[in-house]
Structure 1
Amino acid sequence: MVLLLLLAVLPLTAEARKSVLLVFDEDKEFPGLAVVNGSLREAFRSELGADVEFYSESMNLSQFPETGYDGVFYDHLRRKYAGTALDLIVAVMGPSLDFLLRHGEALFPGIPIVFCGADLSDLEGKTLRANVTGALVKRTFAPTLDIALQLQPDIRSVFVVGGTSSFDRQMQSIARRDFKPFESRVVITYLTTLPMDDLLKAVSSLPPNSAVLYLTLFTDGGGLAFVPHEALSLITAAANAPVYVSLDQYVGRGAVGGHVYSLDAHGRHAAEVGLRILDGEAPETISVVEPADHRNMFDWRELRRWGLDERRLPAGSIVSFRTPSAWDVYKWYVAGGATLLVVQSTLIIRLLASRAQRRRAQSSLAERLRFETLLSEVSAEFLTLPASAVDDRIERMLQRVVETLDFDRVALAERQDGTNTMHVTHSWTRAGVAPVPMVFEDEALPWLGKRLAQGDPVRVSRLDELPEEAATDRRSLAARGIRSLAAVPLLVGGAVVGALGFSRLRGERPWPDELMARLQLLADVFANVQARRRADGAVRDSEERRRRAEEEAQRQRDELAHALRVSTLGELTASFAHEINQPLSAIMTNAQAARRLLAIEQAKPRDIEDALIDITGDANRASQTIRRLRALFRKEHAEHAAIDINALIEDVLGLLRNDIQGKNIVVRFTRGQALPTVLGDPVQLRQVVLNLIVNAGEAIALAASGPREIRIDTSQPEVGRVAIAVRDTGVGVKEPEVEQIFERFVSTKPQGLGMGLAISR
């Protein structure tokens, strides 16, 4: 039943939607974070479609800088996601990563974490757990200043604008490091602590030959929170000098541009890492990446506004927002009539070619996936398969090969020693196709046999491709209706032991190198199977006679012992049923009581807790009974282990308690003190004690009157020995029968088998 339930659950698990939590340091609607958010979601959905569900959390650190906010946010996540099963967490920006490094294991134990938006400085002094990886931002401001000096060779002063938040200060630290080499060429001033009004006044009255480099501004010197993009718009509107930036989202807000970082590309890189984890890769096997997502991007309108020569831009620069000239506007009207037909034709041809190429790629990918699945299935089938089941499973796997790779016939053949003749041991043929001949003689296929004997694979797309020396082979194949064929040798220890052959009778087919390489992989698997069959056969032949008698004797002893245990336990079925039903009834009664208490508004929590405690106790009691029964029902041998004899007797008495009480028998158990443990089979020792106590109870039941008592004593008569004595007040054993009671099939009970004491001895 458990196995069926597991099999029923597995498909549902495989198709379950993936749950991804996105954690942002600020409001995810901030323009930069919105770009990362969009690229992450788009990348995940492009691969997973509708099979992904997103959760989002924004820390809003610039609005809540208080010290205790970390604990508040922690408690919020703990309560909100207590019942949510997450597959992946994406930490966007360094503060989000810091929070998850502090609290991730407590909040989301073992859940993989992928970070983005953090640079190397964010990781300094931190240790990433095995479940943490991601994509680093390579923040650099020096190239942007270098471009500014190319566009404005007469620059004398550079003003660096930023804010006062922790992230703003982090960016300023990187900028100070990057700008160090430029301090001998220009005067660099940092405007990073001014309130916004004072900052706008400062940038509006900069000296001639100046330039502004904008970093980020989440909080101004007066403590007011800003969206960095909106702050940039205010600064560029007020500045009397060109403003340069290092983020692509800032281009188009009044800045000239610069060597900018693409947030969209960065988000996609992080999503690629996350998809690899969702696809089954372990986070610890995926290295942290630092993709180079920079490009030189500029606003044509700002270049014109400040009179900057576009020819000074670095090669390959992207110039956006260009206002088209009259030629740019009307040139397609002039030339369009002449080129429209050509463009349309070219487009159609390209679309058709792209469609065909895409279909070929999809077909190739699907075929590769089918083969890899097939190879994995075949390898897994034979990995732990017992030798006795190999033949049947080979037939099944050959069928899978035919169905998956669209062959008509496939045959596994063994080479006869000293010849090129192949004897078919296993084959599979598609319905409606003639079966494979059992023997391919050397005389019928000399060319093919020679090639395979040399260890060379053979492929024949069409019979007329065969060389002249293969004329006999061509006639033999044609006579068998084979129109296309491939055969791969089976190599074991460098020697050819057989071949795996594939054929088509319905038509011809090509055998490209990629397909032949795949078939060779299949052949290697079957070669290993053949080698294993040979080795197993040799071992079985050499050991069979020696082991047969021992195994048969042991099997009979085990079967008899198990039958006796089952028989004994079967006689006690009613007792065991009562032993289990009693706690189950109590559980039901307490559960109903708890439900009634929950329905009462003034119900006392202590009453509900008492009911739940009773349910737990009764469940443990039923569990103990089932555990004891399972231990005795086990058929296989248990490993020898150190056994506490007193505890083992207590265990058996607990199992028989209801039966003993039903017979009004009193058990007096005197436990030996400080007894050593005994090395033995716990199942067999339980059976011995069970037999003795059950026999004692049955003997007492036959007594007409008198005390009804069983006494059990454990002791250590000498070093290295432990004794168990079982006495009862039953009818006893007659003197002539005392010497015979340990012999097989001797019993004083009318329905007894006479094997209990014999097996015990």
Structure 2
Amino acid sequence: MTTVLLVHSESRLSPAIMTIDNEIRSALQPPDGMVRFYTEYLDAGWFPESPVHTATVELLRRKYKDRSLDLVVAVGPAALRFAALDAPGLFPAARIVFAAGLPSMASDFRVPSSVRGTWLSFDWAANLKLVLQLHPDAERIAFVHGSAPFDRAEHSRFREAFAAYRDRLELVDLTELSFDELLSRAAALPPRTVVLFGSFLRDRSGEAFISADVLRTLTRVAPAPIYVLSDTLVDAGGIGGRVVSFAAIGRHTAAIARQALGAETPAPALDAADDTNAYMFDARALRRWGISERALPPGSVIVHRELSFWQRYAWHVGALIAFVILQSAFVVALLVQRRQRARAQAALARNLEVEQLVSEISTTLSTCSVAELDGALPQALLRTARQLGFDRASLLEFDDDFRYARVIRSVSPDAPPLPARLPVDRYPWTFGAVKRGDLVQWPDRSRIPAAADEDRKAFAATGTEAFVGIPLRAGSTVVGALTLAALRPMPDLPGTLTERAWLLGEVFGNVIVRRRTDSTVRESEERFRLMADSAPVMVWMADVDGGRTYFNKQWLEFTARHRERELGTGWTEGVHPDDRARCLETLRKRFDAREDFLLEYRLQRKDGEYRWVADRGVPRFSGHGTFHGYVGGASDITEIRAAHEAMLETTRLRGEIFGSLFGHVAAVDHAGRIIAANESWTSSVLRPPLGSDYLAACRTAAARGNPGAEAQAAALRKVLGGHANRASCEYVVGSSRDERWFEMTVEPFHRSEGGAIVTHIDITRRRRAEAEARREREELAHALRVTTLGELAASLAHEINQPLAAIVSNAQAAQLFLDRQPGTDKEVQGALVDIADDAKRAALVIRRLRALFRKDWTEQRKPVSVNDIIFEVIGLVRAELEPKRVAVEFHPGKGLPPVFGDAIQLQQVVLNLIINASEAMVGASTSNPTVTVQTLSTNQGTIEIAVTDCGPGVEQAELERIFEPFVTTKPTGLGMGLSISRSIIQAHGGRIWAVCKNGGGLRMHIEIPCEEQQVPS
């Protein structure tokens, strides 16, 4: 099934809209009925505000999100804007065709090449030429046009056409007026004035109108002929002119639509200017203003042509002449004249009665409000039926599909009542003729045409003998019928009623139009309320005084207050007392200035909590600039506001943390531009300023001979390019006398835009310490050898201690002996004292060594950080390992507790393990020799140190023997390093062991109890 969406710019009551809609439906509906039509009305003339259009587009998006549309037909200028700007996004799969697009209203947007259709063209030049042709004595042109955007769109085109006649005609500008002002000025037009009427959808005060209604009223008060430019206005009192045929536009658009549905791409648009404009005139208006049909342009269409008196009574006059000629009887002639006079008088009386009836009913119904029509209609229908001699008078309205005729009112005092709805197919011939705009009447059922046999049966079932059906039009479209029925034959039909039936049709047709207008307005208001209630914001409206006149469902549910209580300024009772005065003052100022506003205040929710809301309002203006109040919406922003404040606090905190970082720290974006820096960076003359290109600064420094600039740029490019997660380099600045060393570290800036964090730390002291460490390297090696000898001395300590004790005893005995001998050499006694003291000191050294191996030495122990010890050792060995191309990686554990021990001895152990690991990889077939050091805290309350190499490793059987004295795998080694290391670790209450690593290499493990787990012995 083919699905078609018809989108109309204006109300469905607009005659032009109805005409185009009927033509398109008739042309696209196939005999099998496999086309489904959807219809939407934008009501742009009555609701031109942008928020209403936005809400309408959103409503259509939701309404048709699950519908598959094959074709979208946009009718009218506002609908063309919708088709060009909104429809491609709403209905991407549908082909788009437009009708009655106005070029002057499409200048501010581009119509896509895929959108084809029929343009609307008003031929002002042709009508001005026509006016001068038919009224050569005319002195002025009165130009009548409304204030709606559609009305104003043609103002400039008329003035361009009028410029050619400015020296011959005076222009009376009747645009941008209120309706009352228009009538007043039109009634006072001077002689020799011709009125040119375009359209009138809205007056200066913003009130909406239907152009046909305005023209009918204007025709009654203006003392001048009125020419029109639309075929729908010819029936409304205008003389006619070079008019746009909306029926032709509908047919042309339907042809384009059929081509679009049957081809891969739409066919080109037809030429609207040539195919949709024609000369059309109302014969009644021509007679009223004395214009001869012979003076009209060739090919003019004349509607409502009535027979002249001579044409109606030609046979009477001819018969009378023939009778006089043939009979030459003066008496007969007198009788004929008397009878003709009597008939004329009777007809005149009937004409007066009908005209008086039409005038009184028209006055009554036109002065009633829409709400009062239901009470006035029965009386008007009853007067019509009784005065015209019928038993029933009914007002019918056809539905959009022309399947039923709804009985709006039916008065039948002496006849059976009609049902609420009449099926059209029950009276197919009658209603078909009425739908075509034909007057249907017969004085009795015997005069019903043979083609209407089914209608005859239906009328017989209701007892109807005589019948009159008068089409009721809205523009050129038949929307209903006025039916008059009698239960008896009426031989006088057709008669005077036939001549005045159209006047009755205009009066009662206006009733249907007014009812439809009122219904459409209510439907539009209901759609607005529906859209407002479905919107995810709290919508409100205010009048020109600032008092709120409307709140949607979301507002009332949020506050849990009755609508009546919120109206006016009652809504401010829910505003927080601290915000109320500020809120009212801001609203007053914005209302006085007619400006948009955005206001934040606290509003009490139904649970009593005050919530922050953002309330935005925009002024509402009519098409000519009249202020009508405000429309706005409020949203709960409590969570957004809290998140924003948290973000500001987080940003401030990050800024303080960033500013307190040690060293020169800066953040750069993905292109290398400096976007943030701490105070140390900005205050240093060595660093580029904030906002500069760091990579460009490095290139400039390299060109000036700075040797470290290129290394800095390379490190930054490596991280920015994603080639490394961390890059660093060291460089020197200054002369040899006052040189300063810096270490640059680059790490990724983890954010969606990318970037890097650059840190420059002054390592001059560290560099000098490293140099000092290298100078002390030999001393450290010497300490290792001494420690190795100490391990040997531990096994000999007991044997050495006894001879030392004997030496002390003998030295003391010799000293006592010499003291008793007179004349003893003092130098000898001094030598004996020195021998005793040296022996005691040697014994003390041996006892401390023995205590070390008994794990009872505590004098030099204190809490130390394992990570700090390892950092210091790595700093000592880095310079020695770099020439060997051996790298050291350290993975320190976080939050490690201190251990209780001797820092020097623990450094000696770690140093020994790193030196052993590096020497094991030298000469081995290892592409990237690396020593990995890792620390971590175990669940047993100990700190574990792991030193891993990627060398050849050792045999599984040798894992325990490598800790024994004099066991070594190095040709020049003594085999004492690991033995001493194990002794030191065991003295600290820990253990050391080795594990072969899969794939080659050796991992050394050390476990030392934490401080709280260690109890010094």
* TM-score scaled by length of structure 2: 0.30
Question: Which structure: greater helix fraction?
Answer: 1
Point out the structure with max Rg over C-alpha: 2
TM-score normalised by length of structure 1 = 0.40
